[in-house]
Amino acid sequence: MMPQSLLMRLLLLAAAASAATAAGDGCSTGCNLALGSYNIEPNQNLSYISSLLGIDDYRELPYNNPWFGNLDYIQAGQRLTVSFRCQCLALPTSPFSTYLAGSFPYRVSLGETYSSIAAQFNNLTTAAWLQATNRYPSSNIPDGGIMNVTINCSCGYPGVPPEYKVFLTYPLRDGETFDSVEEKYSFPVQSEMDSSIVYIPLTCEDSCCCRYSAK
Ligand SMILES: *[C@@H]1O[C@H](CO)[C@@H](O)[C@H](O)[C@H]1NC(C)=O
Ligand SMILES: *[C@@H]1O[C@H](CO)[C@@H](O)[C@H](O)[C@H]1NC(C)=O
Ligand SMILES: *[C@@H]1O[C@H](CO)[C@@H](O)[C@H](O)[C@H]1NC(C)=O
Ligand SMILES: *[C@@H]1O[C@H](CO)[C@@H](O)[C@H](O)[C@H]1NC(C)=O
């Protein structure tokens, strides 16, 4: 048998490790508004990006992106901000493992895989995370099936001043680091350990969309 104190230490370590995996690990409730930053790649257009992210009409996008000029001439490298509801969801294989995320329904076409689907979301999610959050075995994703594309989010974390009300799920780009993002703040910033996602805290002024609630 394991000595009591060692067992205790292992349990404490496990608790600390899961606290450090951040973003809603063990949530009990979500929040109405989170933002996601979609980094536009060459040859992507707004009607395609809107269909991925559940936006009915891309002319709604300027509410979150007032700096966008002509919506018909988007450029690779621009970042598009989309809003969504940040829900407390549970893993299909383990109903007590909860996490905070937006869920975007995606109709699967013949031959698509978790990797090919994740790739379209430009680092807002990963193939491994899609696989963990969907029931389909990776070798048997049904043509025409509806996958839940899971994009992690944050509703806040300890140490953030109260005027920061909205959190932007922000995949780091090449050349950006967690430290270069965190440098802008005088409090700790949260990130995902196993992906390149950082949660950027925003005030209502800099997010411009506290008054728009997500659908
Ligand atoms: C937008 O992109 C999608 C996917 O790449 C493509 O199928 C569609 O033809 C494009 N639409 C326009 C208007 O360019
Ligand atoms: C996704 O992340 C990889 C690795 O960090 C990077 O090389 C790539 O440019 C990113 N893609 C986008 C669209 O930001
Ligand atoms: C989403 O969050 C969970 C934990 O809450 C983490 O294990 C997973 O790697 C994250 N996925 C991404 C793509 O950030
Ligand atoms: C997607 O999410 C819904 C609602 O939580 C669930 O009923 C469904 O089984 C999920 N789909 C997959 C493929 O896991």
**How high is the mean pLDDT of the chain?**
83
| d(CA 43, ligand 1 centre) in Å | 8
DSSP class per residue in 41-79: PTT--HHHHHHHTT-S-GGGGGGT-TT---TTS--TT-E
User: Would the pLDDT of 18 be above 60?
Assistant: no
**pLDDT score of 155:** 95
Residue 91 corresponds to which tokens in the numbers above? Answer: 């893993």
Are the CB atoms for 46 and 74 separated by under 8 Å? Answer: yes
| Spacing, Cα 24 to ligand 1 middle (Å) | 35
3-state secondary structure of 40: coil
**Region 15-33 average pLDDT:** 63
- Taking the CA of residue 123 as reference, the ligand 2 atom at the shortest distance is 1
* φ, ψ dihedrals at 143, nearest 5°: -60, 125
Whether pTM exceeds 0.95: no
The full set of domain ranges for the chain reads 4-102+153-206
pLDDT at 128: 96
Beta carbons of 204 and 165 less than 8 angstroms apart: yes
The pLDDT tens digits of the residues spanning 104-163 come to 999 999 999 999 999 999 999 999 999 999 999 999 999 999 999 999 999 999 999 998
* CA distances to 112, 114, 117, 147, 180 from 139, in Å: 10, 10, 14, 14, 39
| 136 Cα to the center of ligand 4, angstroms | 9
